Chains A and B, each alone.
Chain A
Amino acid sequence: MDQGGLEELAEIAPANPSVIAALAEPPANPLRDPRDRRIPRVAGPCVLVMFGVTGDLARKKLMPAVYDLANRGLLPPGFSLVGYARRDWEDEDFAQLTYEAVKEHARTPFRETVWQQLSEGVRFVQGDFDDDAAFDRLAQCVRQLDVERGTGGNYAFYLSIPPKFFPTVVQQLKRSGLSDPAAASGIAGTGRRPWRRVVIEKPFGHDLASARELNSTLDGVFPQNSVFRIDHYLGKETVQNILALRFANEMYEPIWNRSYVDHVQISMAEDIGIGGRAGYYDGIGAARDVVQNHLLQLLALTAMEEPVAFDADSLRTEKEKILSAVRLPADLALGTARGQYAAGWQGGLAVPGYLEEDGIPADSRTETYAALKLGVDTRRWAGVPFYLRAGKRLPRRMTEIAMMFQRAPHLPFAATDTKELGQNALVIRIQPDEGITVRFGSKVPGTAMEVRDVNMDFAYGESFTESSPEAYERLLLDVLIGDPPLFPRQQEVELGWRILDPVEDFWASHTKPEQYPAGTGGPAGADEMMARDGRTWRRL
């Protein structure tokens, strides 16, 4: 149940009678009208506390997103940003870091006045994650902000830190009273109980057991609906785009099933290697890093039935149904493949192999490429294989869902006329250049009858008069507004691990990842897996 909105109407005694009147009726804001499409939703008074402010993500994405929101007028008056890190910094140093991050990476133009007003609310607290005194200072700091800037005791905690620190930080938040809304003062006289929200980024554990452990860590401290699990590869915009394509149109649904679809390919290719993430990546690998979360999410969005409503709960119900119907191949040796990139040439540069990367043990068995054939045991999808693949150091960066259709049952042409005709395909491109491609056969101009595949393209970036907001802007705004996320809750995360854990166990005990030269399309084993079914991967 989502009670995020209701919960905020608490029973703390209001200070004056006029507020009682306001509380008696739910606060329907008379200035808001669903027909008024110009007025955006703006976050209420709050403090954003960011852990891990010195990291890349914070500098390149989060801080610029905060500025962009402020510049677009979507942050509340008095909004404050508190950074927490080990560095021995003053508020000004942190403000300077934020300033530089914003100037360099913000999407919207830099305006001194916006920055001035934003920077007044920037604070920094220095400390380790297990430092009681530092967390007490942090608590002191945000309460001070409540008084000085009227942030109302509403705090969002963004844990942009390695998952191994989650338990420590979450416990500290509890110990220092920061996680407890009742302990805060709230806005004097409003009678509204302040909120707490926590944002964590994938990975959500590395197997079923650790995912449950992570959940129990959070569970005692933050209620389910205030935990925002974020997968920034799969923004809310993308999820909604897929839903709109499938459920707002009449053209696609009739053919969206086993009668017409031959198979589905879901791919996520990256051209980069592991870069500076050796410490995180080794021992995790491609399957845990991306297959478990976003490829399975994409599978769920593609295969699920129509949700009864366009809200987070109904959507989750459908996704959970489909994920629980996912079936692994009977023989994992034939239905999975994995690889590790070897030295090679990628995009015109000589690049090292995975085992030669800094910080990777020479005998590492971590895969940088994973491919998997899944079945979905429902009436709609029986017999339609879903092929998932994810890899690093592939020729280019791209994420897509390709619905490959069956061939026409009868072609009233000479066989030579249709030699170059492939399968019809509907490709949902997720990145780069989000859009949709329809691939179909068309006659080649000329006197000879010849049919060849052509593409029909649609790009979100070209057909609308507004540009899509950066994923992190939407995300932060959703968190600050308290919009229930379309992102997975615990149940979905666990279903994902249930699918992947047997595969990981099998890999751990049976195979070594196959080497593939960097810059090529992946290991031969993955191609063989497709070839056994008489199919091929789409070219990357």
Chain B
Amino acid sequence: MTIDLTDTTTSAIHDAVTQARRRMGGPASGMVLTLIIVTNEEAQYDAVRAAATAGREHPSRILAVIPRKPRFESRLDAEIRVGETGPGETILLRLYGPLAQHADSVVAPLLVPDVPVVTWWPDEVSASPVTAALGAVAQRRVTDAAATDAPPRDMLLSLARTYQPGDTDLSWTRSTGWRSLLAATLDQPYPTLLSAAVLAEAGNPTADLIAAWLRLRLDIPVSRGDSAGPGITSISFETPDGPISLTRTDGRTAALGWPGRPDRRVALHRRDIADLIAEELRRLEPDELYGETLRELASTGDFTDGDFTEVSE
């Protein structure tokens, strides 16, 4: 059911949601969290869809905050969707005029009591998530350095400067598959690792983060080179016995090469946004490792000095 409210107030929205729920026969069931999406008219469709998919199994309230014509008079329009995308509810909030500067006053009364709040910037990333208007209310602040207009690496460096526990970035989430494979690779006894190399599409922030993570954890020189992609194409270690490498050229299947052993293949997909958001929503405590990795990345400056050396294929 979709309900459109024009020039409305938060209490009217609240009443409409409660009524809609009752009419559908469902009581206010246990919402797991409130997800605030800070977006714009153009990007909201995909973001809301991804969030709804991610939250399908679990009821959550999705609040999409969309600023509209800044020079209009202040006005709040709401589009409420209940029972369409699963057990949760979605409310699109369109903020006209100066009201857009006070989005927190609209969002605060609509937060589900007692449950965590997550704020997600699917496209334009706030340079300092925690001080951004809708970042302060959230336990978890999700950005996406790969989605900004600015060069992703600059974005990561700026996120590193303002990092606060609870920040996280989808380019870090994208690294999970690679990182688990790398960790699994080193679960078996392995020869001394001399250095590592990460090859990926130019500017791929996930590759930068993985390179920083490897250097942080292994304390060996790590180089970061460009390839044609898609995404990350290879991560390899130099060892006295020869290279240990993970190679993925098609964005789907990786091959593990190990000196003296047959190559082994393993599925390693590029993941869609819904999947990434689902992973982010899974754990709501601060991700300390992301913070440490960002710091490591920032400490190597602009990648030209230190151990991060640019190489071309």
User: Is there an interface contact between A77 and B266, defined as CB atoms closer than 8 Å?
Assistant: yes
> A152 to chain B: closest CB distance in Å?
8
A177-208 contacts to B (CB < 8 Å): 187-192
Q: Which of B36-44, B189-197, B223-231 interfaces with chain A? A: B189-197
Is A22 engaged at the interface, CB distance under 8 Å to the other chain? yes
Give a binary string over A114-126; 1 marks a CB under 8 Å from any B CB, 0 the rest.
1011101000000
Chain A interface: which size bin? 35 or more
Q: Which of A76, A118, A148, A465 contacts B33 (CB 8 A)?
A: A465
Q: Which of B190, B214, B218 contacts A22 (CB 8 A)?
A: B190
B18-64 contacts to A (CB < 8 Å): 29-30, 32-33, 55, 57-60
Residues of B within 8 A of A114 (CB): 267
Residues of B within 8 A of A73 (CB): 177, 180-181, 266-268
Residues of B within 8 A of A462 (CB): 29-30, 32, 58-59, 87
Assembled-state Cα–Cα distance A272/B218 (Å): 56
User: Is there an interface contact between B180 and A465, defined as CB atoms closer than 8 Å?
Assistant: no
Please give me the residue from chain A that is nearest to B246 by CB atom: A77
Please give me the residue from chain A that is nearest to B279 by CB atom: A38
Assembled-state Cα–Cα distance A116/B281 (Å): 31
User: Is there an interface contact between B288 and A120, defined as CB atoms closer than 8 Å?
Assistant: no
Residues of B within 8 A of A44 (CB): 184, 187-188
Is B258 engaged at the interface, CB distance under 8 Å to the other chain? yes
Assembled-state Cα–Cα distance A464/B239 (Å): 43
Chain A interface helix/strand/loop/mixed = loop
Is B278 engaged at the interface, CB distance under 8 Å to the other chain? yes
Give a binary string over B229-273; 1 marks a CB under 8 Å from any A CB, 0 the rest.
000000000011100000000001111101011101111110000
Residues of A within 8 A of B191 (CB): 16, 18-19, 22
Is B176 engaged at the interface, CB distance under 8 Å to the other chain? yes
Is A513 engaged at the interface, CB distance under 8 Å to the other chain? no
> A45 to chain B: closest CB distance in Å?
7
> A151 to chain B: closest CB distance in Å?
9
Is A78 engaged at the interface, CB distance under 8 Å to the other chain? yes
Please give me the residue from chain B that is nearest to A40 by CB atom: B180
User: Is there an interface contact between B59 and A78, defined as CB atoms closer than 8 Å?
Assistant: no
Assembled-state Cα–Cα distance A191/B269 (Å): 32
Residues of B within 8 A of A118 (CB): 267
Chain B interface helix/strand/loop/mixed = mixed
User: Is there an interface contact between B180 and A39, defined as CB atoms closer than 8 Å?
Assistant: yes
Is A250 engaged at the interface, CB distance under 8 Å to the other chain? no
Please give me the residue from chain B that is nearest to A188 by CB atom: B260
User: Is there an interface contact between B283 and A37, defined as CB atoms closer than 8 Å?
Assistant: yes
Known: A465-B282, A466-B282. A147 touches B262 (CB 8 A): yes
Assembled-state Cα–Cα distance A288/B10 (Å): 60
Residues of A within 8 A of B75 (CB): none
User: Is there an interface contact between A19 and B189, defined as CB atoms closer than 8 Å?
Assistant: yes
Q: Which of A26-34, A228-236, A532-540 interfaces with chain B? A: A26-34
User: Is there an interface contact between A113 and B183, defined as CB atoms closer than 8 Å?
Assistant: no
User: Is there an interface contact between A187 and B267, defined as CB atoms closer than 8 Å?
Assistant: no
> B187 to chain A: closest CB distance in Å?
6
Q: Which of A21, A35, A150, A467 contacts B262 (CB 8 A)?
A: A150
B99-137 contacts to A (CB < 8 Å): none
Give a binary string over A23-58; 1 marks a CB under 8 Å from any B CB, 0 the rest.
100010111110111111010110000000000000
Is A71 engaged at the interface, CB distance under 8 Å to the other chain? yes
Is B1 engaged at the interface, CB distance under 8 Å to the other chain? no
Is A278 engaged at the interface, CB distance under 8 Å to the other chain? no
Assembled-state Cα–Cα distance A255/B285 (Å): 31
Residues of A within 8 A of B59 (CB): 462
Assembled-state Cα–Cα distance A514/B229 (Å): 71
Known: A29-B183, A36-B289, A39-B180. A465 touches B278 (CB 8 A): yes
> A108 to chain B: closest CB distance in Å?
11
User: Is there an interface contact between B264 and A38, defined as CB atoms closer than 8 Å?
Assistant: no
Is A463 engaged at the interface, CB distance under 8 Å to the other chain? yes
Assembled-state Cα–Cα distance A190/B262 (Å): 14
Residues of A within 8 A of B217 (CB): 30-31, 33
B70-101 contacts to A (CB < 8 Å): 87
B148-204 contacts to A (CB < 8 Å): 173, 176-177, 179-184, 186-192
Please give me the residue from chain A that is nearest to B218 by CB atom: A30
Is A397 engaged at the interface, CB distance under 8 Å to the other chain? no
A143-193 contacts to B (CB < 8 Å): 147-150, 152, 187-192
> A206 to chain B: closest CB distance in Å?
40
Is A283 engaged at the interface, CB distance under 8 Å to the other chain? no
User: Is there an interface contact between B188 and A111, defined as CB atoms closer than 8 Å?
Assistant: no
Assembled-state Cα–Cα distance A113/B191 (Å): 31
Residues of A within 8 A of B190 (CB): 22
Residues of B within 8 A of A187 (CB): 188, 261
Is A75 engaged at the interface, CB distance under 8 Å to the other chain? yes
Assembled-state Cα–Cα distance A187/B244 (Å): 15
User: Is there an interface contact between B176 and A113, defined as CB atoms closer than 8 Å?
Assistant: no
Residues of A within 8 A of B180 (CB): 38-40, 42, 73
User: Is there an interface contact between B266 and A117, defined as CB atoms closer than 8 Å?
Assistant: yes
Known: A36-B289, A78-B265, A117-B265. A22 touches B189 (CB 8 A): yes
Is A97 engaged at the interface, CB distance under 8 Å to the other chain? no
Is A70 engaged at the interface, CB distance under 8 Å to the other chain? yes
> A25 to chain B: closest CB distance in Å?
10
User: Can you list 11 pairs linking A and B with CB atoms under 8 Å apart?
Assistant: A18-B191, A36-B289, A73-B267, A76-B184, A78-B256, A78-B266, A111-B267, A113-B269, A150-B258, A458-B30, A462-B32
Knowing that A462-B32, A466-B278 are A-B contacts, what are 15 other residue pairs whose CB atoms are under 8 Å apart, sorted by A's residue number?
A: A30-B217, A31-B182, A31-B218, A35-B288, A36-B289, A38-B176, A38-B287, A40-B180, A114-B267, A149-B262, A149-B264, A150-B262, A192-B188, A462-B59, A462-B87
* Partner-A contacts on B (CB < 8 A): 29-30, 32-33, 55, 57-60, 87, 173, 176-177, 179-184, 186-192, 214, 217-218, 239-241, 252-256, 258, 260-262, 264-269, 278-279, 281-283, 285, 287-289
